Amino acid sequence: YIQERNDIDKAIDCFGMAIELQPYYTAAWNNLAVCYRVKGNKEMAIECFKMAQYSLQFEKVDKDRQINKESIEFNSKAIHTLQ
């Protein structure tokens, strides 16, 4: 919602707080990476995408894991684009 309203800085803050509460929150890492990519911060986007990929192994619900995996696979192409 915040991303759609173009308040990327607020979205970064919110995803950061979510990650502080739950360090392996795959969707938050992935969305944070997208925010940084939109802002043009390639290094942070890459690091967040990598953390999203890493945290996927800790997903407990199979449905959520599959959804997040598909999203990460799609967005991880950005890692190669950004590098």
User: Taking Cα atoms as reference points, which of 82, 83, 51, 52 lies closest to residue 68?
Assistant: 52
**Cβ burial, residue 8 (10 Å; 0-12/13-18/19+):** middle
State pLDDT tens for residues 23-61.
999 889 999 999 999 899 999 999 999 999 898 887 766
Query: Which one is predicted more confidently, 21 or 68?
Result: 21
| pTM recorded for the entire structure | 0.73
pLDDT score of 59 = 73
